[in-house]
Amino acid sequence: MASEDKSPGVEHRDPQYFGYYAMLQHQQNMLQDNVRTSTYRSAILLNGPRCFQDKLVMDVGAGSGILSYFSVQSGAKHVYAVEASAMAKKMDRLVKTAGQNGKNAFLKDKITVINAKIEDADLPIPQVDTIVSEPIGVLLFHERMLESYIHARDHYLKPGGALFPSKGGIYLAPFTDATLWTETMAKARFWEQSEFYGIDLSSLYQEAKTEMFGMPVVGHFDPRQLITTPTVMDSYDVDFATVTLDQLKDMTIPFDWVSGYTGLMHGIAGWFDLTFGPPPYHDTANLTPEQRNEMAGTTIDMSTGPAAERTHWQQVRFLFKEPLAVNATQKISGWMRCIVNDMRSYTIFVEVALDKSKLTDPATLDTSNTDEYTFIKEFKHDPLVRRGVWELHEQTYNYTYNPDMVQPGHQPEYTCLYQPDQTIMNDLMDSYQDFC
């Protein structure tokens, strides 16, 4: 695990990062995400009596201030809204004009806007009862705002205080998408030309292929392209009440799947869920029913998965340079190791094998040469193993899927996935249970 002292900083990215979030159009994009905004509002209002009523609240990375406003609506005594970008000045203008002409009167004298990074020293913030934040990026952790959320927890939250959100779950699944893979390959093949206006470009082809396939693809996709569908038991949980900064900087996500179809695995898809729940976040098994009832609140869950209602986070897919042929009921094992980089994001390493004994230990990963990772450079081709490296910040986008345009009567073979015989299907769940 990378130590806190040696992990790459993000300060050099701050001007661009905070400049982006200072723009009203980007705040509007998030506000208009009805799933995101309504889920946060429901979680805050439904837990008002326990976590917000007459409480001191902090909003970390407040942005437009929407979570601060919801907190006041839920009865907060006072909210400290911390925002590092110039959006803080716009929020402050809205707060200071509260009550004029009868508008936003409920906000008057309820919010203190602090234009600073939460990591800055000597901020005028007391210990608070509740922290709210939207520190989430693609695959939960892109942009590294979770580190600020945890810093706020460690420095400003009272013992036993509430966190909204309280937990995140990362989901990974194998997918097939011949069209996406072919389109990506076509971009690389441009550089394979030996007669482009009389110029030979082919010496750049391999580098182009590495670049094109090293770009995570962000966008919604058809859930019927999943070769297996993960359940809640397959998620990698990040408990915001207990996770440490060091743990956030180097995460290894193991996975074990059983293929539901015969087909080509073009890569790995990822998304996340969020849970908004009141404390206590420790084990309550030993509490009496009366004690549990006294501490009861309302837990709200939100999914960004391909079968869920759309959000601005969408999903992300990591394409293999070479697809992996899998058979129905075949076991697929592997791991994804996510290490922070200095671009406010993560470098993603993946290894997948149809023979679990062929997997290497992710702890032995050599990441010393970031231009040509030893992980890939020394890899000898094996028909049962695939490896890949992706920079999560170097995203490309694909918006071809529209659920409203899906034709009825879809069959798996339309996406080149082939179901096994029904007898085999009946044994599939038993095989999966034995494997797990």
Residue-range domain boundaries for the chain:
11-164, 170-273+307-435
Straight-line distance from the first to the last Cα atom of the chain, in angstroms, rounded to the nearest whole number? 26
C-alpha span between 216 and 95 (Å, rounded): 39
Task: Tell me the three state secondary structure of residue 105.
Answer: helix
Task: Return left, alpha or beta for 334; rule: phi > 0 is left, psi -120 to 50 is alpha, else beta.
Answer: left
pLDDT computed for residue 370 by the predictor = 65
| CATH of segment(s) 170-273+307-435 | 2.70.160.11
In angstroms, the CA 82 to CA 262 distance is: 51
What pLDDT does 180 receive?
97
Contact between residue 355 and residue 384 where contact means Cβ atoms under 8 Å apart: yes
Burial of 313: CB neighbours in 10 Å, binned 0-12, 13-18, 19+: buried
For residue 32, what are the contacts with CB-CB under 8 A and spacing of at least 6? none
Considering the segment(s) 11-164 as one domain, its CATH architecture is 3-Layer(aba) Sandwich (3.40)
Cβ atoms of 83 and 61 closer than 8 Å: yes
Could you tell me the CA-to-CA distances from 86 to 78, 107, 113, 117, 132 in Å, in that order?
Answer: 22, 20, 11, 12, 20
Q: Are strands 56-60 and 78-82 parallel, antiparallel or unpaired?
A: parallel
Q: Which tokens sit at 363?
A: 């702890």
Which residues fall within 8 angstroms of residue 251, CB to CB, at 6 or more apart? 141, 236, 337, 338
- Measured from the Cβ of residue 141, the count of other Cβ atoms closer than 10 Å reads 24
Does the pLDDT at position 425 exceed 70?
no
More confident: 422 or 187: 187
pLDDT digits (tens, 9 = 90+) for 234-260: 899 999 999 999 999 999 999 999 999
Which residue is associated with the tokens 């779950």? 169
Pairing of β 250-258 and β 167-175: unpaired
Taking residues 320-334, what's their average pLDDT? 96
Question: Mind listing the pLDDT tens digit for each residue in 98-114?
Answer: 988 888 999 999 999 99
Q: Please tell me the distance from the alpha carbon of residue 178 to that of residue 415, in angstroms, as a whole number.
A: 8
Q: What percent of the chain has pLDDT over 70?
A: 91
* pTM recorded for the entire structure: 0.91
- Candidates 122, 32, 8; CA nearest to 311 is 32
Q: How confident is the model at residue 286 (pLDDT cuts 50, 70, 90)?
A: low
